[in-house]
């Protein structure tokens, strides 16, 4: 089995928690695959990787071929193998899961990708140049996938990124103990080697005006859902209150944990309260733990309702994050800086459409409680950043500020396509990649049609 570093040890650093499969274990695990005639696992994968195909090559220890099969459908396998929620995707459909436990597809994908990176990466071939110019906005998982697919079709791709480093949430959001940054960089470099022209520090809508963007033969919008939500309660303006985006960006992108070697500061709280129950809340809690804080996580529903991945919840518990469920903040306390947080206990009401109980604040003198805190991190969700969309009034909008797209990823503007969180609202890395891949295929079809 793949190894996991002990919590007592890993809590002191940002090195990867999961150490991956050894070669022997990978081959053993791969040999469990039944090689189904009609494999359900492929359907469960948002980018439809030929899973039995690559696993069969692992059994034969033919790792180079396995890598080639993986990369035919997914240029970011080392990333996906690590951060995909396989339990609800490929592995959730594996027939072995009905009787025993499913094949550990994610761990095998990671093993193959890591093997190839150590051996030296083979860049896949790209199609004959089509002469078509394509703009991709945003270099997160959606933009990288669209850029890679479009480059392989032979189009000339310009990838615009507003930050100083590519990767979107892979770089600024997911901490290195889940996703090491050198692996992210190497995997992104593979995409760039396909001939993609990356333009950093370019804010589309500002550095690249909308008319300049629309002058490309086709456009893919993959700006994600990076606008943090706040709770709109008293005290959010106090020093020490962070959005999870800000806290994680300071640490993951700007290395504030290594201040003063790096210049960006961040408050190293002694008592940190994280609000929320998704993967971002787990990441923020675990980062704060590694920076030496005592961490309490406040979530308004029950433990079993936490939307985060089960593995990450387990990791957070092992690392000493204290979960305070069925509670919701009502006020952040303090004069200049945060000194505490006031919460109300929540009653679980009727189940909503998603099957989760509707939390209802309790009343009475025992319903509220206070927690000491010097840092409060809000991880209660993100929505699409309106900056560029506000400059494109012709673009039809979906719910919650997203861009409306059809099943193929086409927007209301003929040559503009979109995918990832900007189209779906905040979702997972692999779902972003799945929608981007579909959109890239539709873009290729469109570009082929207009050249005929």
Partner 1 sequence: MVYEIEKATQIADNIHEFWINAPQVAGHGKAGQFLIIRLDDSGERIPLTISAVRGDSVRIVFMAVGKTTKQLAAMKAGDCIKDVAGPLGNPSDTSKIGNCVLIGGGVGIACLPILAKALKAAGNHVTGIIGARNEKLLLLSDELEKECDELVICTDDGSRGYHGFPADILKKRIETDRIDAVWIIGPAIMMKITSMATLSTGIKTIVNLNPIMVDGTGMCGSCRVTVDGKMKFACVDGPEFDAHLVDWNELMNRQRIYPAMEKESAELYAADPHRQDGINGHADGHADGHGHVCTCGLSKANSGNIGKNGNNGNNGKTGNGVEN
Interface residue list for partner 1 (CB under 8 A): 162-166, 182, 185-186, 188-189, 192, 198-203, 206-209, 226-228, 230, 232, 236-240, 242-243, 245-246, 249-250, 254-255, 259-265, 267, 336, 385-387
Greatest Cα pair distance in the chain: 74
- Size of the chain in residues: 452
- When the beta carbons of 208 and 321 are compared against partner 1, the nearer one is 208
Nearest-approach distance from CB 341 to partner 1, in angstroms: 18
What is the distance of C-alpha 196 from the center of its chain?
Answer: 22
- When the beta carbons of 37 and 336 are compared against partner 1, the nearer one is 336
- When the beta carbons of 59 and 253 are compared against partner 1, the nearer one is 253
- Contact yes or no for 123/164 (Cβ under 8 A): no
- When the beta carbons of 103 and 280 are compared against partner 1, the nearer one is 280
- When the beta carbons of 207 and 406 are compared against partner 1, the nearer one is 207
C-alpha–C-alpha distance, residues 171 and 16, integer Å: 15
- When the beta carbons of 335 and 366 are compared against partner 1, the nearer one is 335
Nearest-approach distance from CB 249 to partner 1, in angstroms: 6
- Contact yes or no for 201/160 (Cβ under 8 A): no
Nearest-approach distance from CB 209 to partner 1, in angstroms: 6
Q: What does residue 324 show for φ and ψ, rounded to 5 degrees?
A: -120, 95
Nearest-approach distance from CB 176 to partner 1, in angstroms: 14
Cis peptide before 260 (omega within 30 of 0): yes
- Contact yes or no for 424/431 (Cβ under 8 A): yes
C-alpha–C-alpha distance, residues 240 and 334, integer Å: 10
- Contact yes or no for 246/172 (Cβ under 8 A): no
C-alpha–C-alpha distance, residues 415 and 422, integer Å: 17
Nearest-approach distance from CB 225 to partner 1, in angstroms: 10
Nearest-approach distance from CB 216 to partner 1, in angstroms: 16
Nearest-approach distance from CB 146 to partner 1, in angstroms: 16
C-alpha–C-alpha distance, residues 435 and 336, integer Å: 44
Token pair 């209802």 in the structure block, residue: 360
- When the beta carbons of 232 and 354 are compared against partner 1, the nearer one is 232
Look up residue 209 and give its two tokens: 């005006």
- Contact yes or no for 296/274 (Cβ under 8 A): yes
- When the beta carbons of 41 and 251 are compared against partner 1, the nearer one is 251
Nearest-approach distance from CB 286 to partner 1, in angstroms: 19
Look up residue 175 and give its two tokens: 């901490």
Nearest-approach distance from CB 366 to partner 1, in angstroms: 31
- Contact yes or no for 134/443 (Cβ under 8 A): yes
DSSP, res 125: P
C-alpha–C-alpha distance, residues 279 and 283, integer Å: 6
- Contact yes or no for 208/160 (Cβ under 8 A): yes
- When the beta carbons of 45 and 332 are compared against partner 1, the nearer one is 332
Beta strand 3-4 with 327-334 is unpaired
- When the beta carbons of 29 and 161 are compared against partner 1, the nearer one is 161
Nearest-approach distance from CB 155 to partner 1, in angstroms: 18
């Amino acid at each position: 089995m793949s190894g996991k570093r002990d919590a007592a040890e890993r809590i002191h650093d940002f090195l990867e928690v999961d150490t991956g499969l050894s070669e022997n274990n990978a081959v053993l695990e791969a040999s469990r695959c039944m090689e189904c005639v009609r494999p359900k696992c492929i359907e469960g994968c948002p980018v439809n990787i030929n899973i039995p195909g690559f696993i069969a090559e692992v059994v034969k220890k033919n790792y180079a071929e396995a890598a080639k099969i993986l990369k035919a459908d997914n240029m970011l396998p080392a990333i996906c193998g690590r951060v995909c929620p396989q339990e609800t995707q490929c592995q959730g459909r594996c027939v072995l899961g009905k009787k025993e436990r499913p094949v550990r597809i994610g761990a095998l994908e990671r093993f193959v990708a890591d093997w190839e990176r150590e051996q030296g990466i083979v860049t896949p071939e790209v199609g004959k140049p089509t002469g078509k110019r394509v703009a991709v906005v945003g270099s997160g998982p959606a933009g990288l996938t669209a850029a890679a697919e479009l480059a392989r079709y032979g189009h000339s791709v310009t990838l615009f990124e507003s930050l100083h480093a590519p990767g979107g949430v892979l770089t600024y959001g997911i901490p290195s103990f889940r996703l090491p940054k050198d692996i992210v960089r190497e995997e992104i470099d593979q995409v760039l080697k396909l001939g993609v022209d990356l333009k950093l520090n370019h804010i589309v809508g500002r550095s690249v005006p909308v008319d300049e963007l629309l002058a490309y033969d086709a456009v893919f919008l993959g700006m994600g859902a990076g606008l943090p939500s706040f709770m709109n309660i008293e005290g959010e303006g106090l020093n020490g209150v962070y959005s999870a985006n800000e806290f994680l960006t300071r640490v993951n992108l700007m290395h504030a944990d290594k201040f003063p070697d790096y210049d960006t500061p961040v408050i190293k709280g002694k008592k940190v309260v994280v609000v929320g129950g998704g993967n971002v809340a787990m990441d923020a809690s675990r980062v704060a733990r590694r920076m030496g804080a005592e961490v309490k996580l406040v979530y308004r529903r029950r433990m079993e309702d936490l939307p985060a991945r089960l593995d990450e919840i387990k990791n957070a518990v092992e690392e000493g994050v204290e979960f305070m469920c069925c509670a919701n903040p009502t006020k952040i306390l303090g004069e200049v800086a945060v000194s505490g947080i006031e919460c109300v206990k929540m009653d679980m009401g009727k189940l909503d459409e998603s099957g989760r109980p509707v939390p209802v604040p309790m009343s009475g003198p025992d319903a509220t409680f206070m927690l000491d805190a010097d840092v409060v991190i809000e991880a209660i969700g993100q929505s699409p950043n309106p900056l560029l969309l506000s400059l494109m009034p012709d673009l039809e909008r979906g719910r919650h500020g997203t861009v409306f797209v059809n099943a193929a990823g086409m927007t209301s503007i003929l040559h503009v396509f979109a995918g990832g969180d900007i189209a779906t609202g905040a979702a997972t890395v692999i779902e972003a990649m799945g929608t981007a891949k579909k959109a890239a295929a539709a873009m290729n079809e469109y570009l082929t049609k207009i050249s005929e």
